[in-house]
Amino acid sequence: VLTTCVVFIPLIFISGISGALFYDQAMAITIGLLVSLAVSITLLPVYYRIFYTKASINKKNFLSKINALNYGVLYEKGFRLVMRNQVWSWLLFIFMIGAIYPLFLQLEKQKLPHITIDETLLYIDWNERIHLDENRDRTERLIKEFDNFIVQHSSLTGDQQFLLNHNTDLTTSEAIVYLKAGSPEKLDTIQTAITNYLEKNYTSVRHNFSDAGNIFDLLFSDDAPPLIAKFRATKDLGQQKNSKLDNFVNQLKAELPNYAIESIPWEEHLVVKISPDKLTAFNISFDAVYRALKSAFSENEVLIITENQQFTPVILGGKTRLINEILEELTVPNNKGDYIRLQSLIKLDKEQGLKTIVAGSEGEYYPLNFDTEQESAKSIINTIKELSNSNSSFEVDFDGSIYSNQKLLKELIIILTISLLLLYFILASQFESLSLPLIVLLEVPIDIFGALVFLWLFGESLNLMSIIGIIVMSGIIINDSILKIDTINQLRKQGYSLIRALAVAGQRRLKPILMTSLTTILALLPFLFISGIGADLQRPLALAVIGGMTIGTVVSLYFIPLLFYRLKNKP
């Protein structure tokens, strides 16, 4: 009970949402083990006394015949094989430990397991100044183009006025389309076809696909892309900032042609420039011009009348007109009461600016997202750094889920190290030995090898759920080795020789070890053959436990006696 608890209790100190998930599991297992210990001491003897009478012991049935089979003979053959080929046995176990690092590098690292999906959200920014009707027509043509491949669809175009709409803030040139396909494979085909269609027909369009979302995503979502490059101006570039940023991104596209780097979302706007010399010449104040423009362009909003889904603004100003008409007719009074035409005081220019401005603790920056694997991220980072070093206008920092996953992994390594130290101290006090606990602890890396092998064979990643599975497996499988060593020690105290004690202890612990492993493995097997979000989440955990328990059973039966023999067989 203690050795299992010390594996789980340190997990409550993990930070973030992962810590919240581990906390419940650690507390549940710890409380369950303590209650189980109390039940085994108090209730189980009573139940055994009531239900397992002498009559039932002497009764012959199918299960009693299976139980009567001589498993000890089979175990003894395997035990003799290992002891007679100790060099090969050691080489095999050393190979398993050494293969952990290559397997770790080979496995993909994710925060959460991959969920099988057949639906997606398509975000479209036409990146042009278009009317809402044109936006709607383009979106409808897109859906009609792929209607035969889509099971269900829905779309939102332009600004939405839902009461609780806090997730999207669309402009008239943006749209969100929900698409549902018949299968995950068809969804991939549709996404590729839509990308080709948009890039062929609308050269300036920006689009991306995102998960439609489910309850698990709402609770444990990590919206950060794998890699985010944050470009920040090193100095005040003034009006040249936008052009320099655009050139920098184009250079990056040329350096990284294999990665889809989105174009910068620009927004065209009009800039009214007031001439100070003309204001002085006509004796007009700046505030008078500002008030006239604000009133003319209906910026004096007093309130909004809301009725059901209708929103009516109350504005101090005239009816909506074209900008040129307003400026041609607009006049401004000077200090003498004379009215001067506004067009003689201002100059109208068209400029482009960023559609959205992003800022953080490091100040304002422009983000570029890269959907890449951890192995490819290093080359991307090096390329961006080289380009940034040759361009004195911008500097770059990096962020993304790759970095948060590495932080989580470091926390887990530290916590597992603490757990192993606690295990060592508990076992040292139990066995009254400083060397015997090492036998049990050496089993853990071999069992981890089994877990990683199964994850690799079934194409799963190293994620939060598979790490939970490795921890669960480590807490369960070492119990067999602890009890086996305890049995060996008891037999040694009764006068058994070392080899005889190892053989007899293995025969006595054979059935409990097999029962523990088989019941755990059989309970988790269904997760490998069912579908759905629950199965997708539990499959990495099940594979890690099954792989670790499979290898761990062999280790408990044969490697633990071999280690004990080498440790205690003094010349």
CB 330 within 8 A of CB 323: no
HSE at residue 341, side-chain half, CA atoms within 13 A, is 9
Output the pLDDT for position 288: 84
Output the pLDDT for position 164: 47
Q: Where are the alpha helices (DSSP H) in 313-360?
A: 323-329
Within 10 A of 252 (CB to CB), how many other CB atoms are there? 21
Secondary structure element (H or E) that encloses residue 271, with its range: strand 266-274
> What would the pLDDT profile of 462-491 be if each residue is shown by its tens digit?
887 888 888 888 878 888 888 888 888 889
Q: Which two tokens stand for residue 6?
A: 């010390």
The pTM of the full predicted model, rounded to 2 decimals, is: 0.62
**Residue ranges of E strands in 297-381:** 301-307, 310-315, 331-333, 339-341, 346-354, 358-360, 363-370
> What would the pLDDT profile of 158-215 be if each residue is shown by its tens digit?
766 554 444 556 777 888 888 888 777 788 888 888 988 888 888 888 888 877 765 5
Highest mean pLDDT among 128-137, 166-175, 319-328, 452-461: 452-461
> What would the pLDDT profile of 163-178 be if each residue is shown by its tens digit?
444 455 677 788 888 8
84 to 87, 161, 439, 546: CA distances (angstroms): 9, 79, 20, 29
CA 106 vs. chain centroid, Å, equals 18
Residue 503 CB burial class (10 angstroms; 0-12, 13-18, ≥19)? buried
Secondary structure element (H or E) that encloses residue 232, with its range: strand 227-233
Output the pLDDT for position 544: 92
Beta-carbon contacts of 364 under 8 Å, excluding residues fewer than 6 positions away, are: 232, 233, 357, 358
267 torsion bin: left (phi>0), alpha (psi -120 to 50), beta (else): beta
In the block, residue with structure tokens 């606990």:
437
| Separation CA 369–CA 201 (nearest Å) | 24
Output the pLDDT for position 18: 66
> What would the pLDDT profile of 69-124 be if each residue is shown by its tens digit?
566 677 888 888 888 888 898 899 899 989 999 998 888 877 777 777 778 888 88
Secondary structure element (H or E) that encloses residue 58, with its range: helix 54-58
| Separation CA 133–CA 81 (nearest Å) | 80
| Separation CA 218–CA 202 (nearest Å) | 33
Output the pLDDT for position 455: 92
